[in-house]
Amino acid sequence: MRQVHCHSHRAPRVSRQGHGPHTTIDLLIAEHCRRAVGSRQAKSFRVEDTIGNHDTICGCCSAEINYLRYKVKDTPSCRANFLRELAKYGLDSRSLVPNINLFMNIPIDANGELQIRAPLSRPGDHVDLAADMECLAMISNCPQILNPANNFNPTPVRMVTFAAAR
């Protein structure tokens, strides 16, 4: 599965299940898969990553978080997008695992404060993910307009899926 950065300032969210070594993003994907499939140790890993800068701390936006941060009620959110998709498979919020915010730029300043900044990625940057078993991968084209994660202007994302290697 390839997530392609099509426009400037795009930070889609990915929630998926697999097991992979090495980096934080790989380890988070591994934990998602372990929780999802139980004792089966599925392998999930990044095949290619042209930017290498993704948020693994902040999670997805929600109407509740947007209200706390910006005092705006009933905003569209990645959490709502994920829950809507899970419901199509008979799943609910108990099946929602922490997500990874591909291309999202969240530096931590000298005081330990998180900063939401415009992504460093450029059009054409991409991340390829693979898994050694069937899994449910959910992508939320983040509707966030209240901070610079999407440069205050959500734009389309492009997903490419590849046939399994035989």
Mean pLDDT per block of 10 residues along the chain (166 residues) reads 65 45 45 48 71 86 93 93 91 86 88 88 87 79 84 83 74
Q: How far apart are CA 66 and CA 98, in angstroms?
A: 18
Residue 80 confidence (pLDDT): 94
Domain boundaries, the chain: 2-15+54-127+135-160
- List, as own/partner pairs, every contact residues 63-71 make where C-beta atoms lie below 8 angstroms and the sequence separation is at least 24, other chains included: 66/144, 66/146, 69/146, 69/147, 70/146, 70/147
Residue 157 confidence (pLDDT): 81
CA 126 to chain centre: 13
Query: Which phi-psi region, left, alpha or beta, contains residue 127 (left: φ > 0; alpha: ψ -120 to 50)?
Result: beta
Largest CA distance in the chain: 51
Residues 6+ apart with CB under 8 A from 109: 115
Residue 23 confidence (pLDDT): 45
CA 136 to chain centre: 13
CA angle 103/109/110 to nearest 5° reads 150
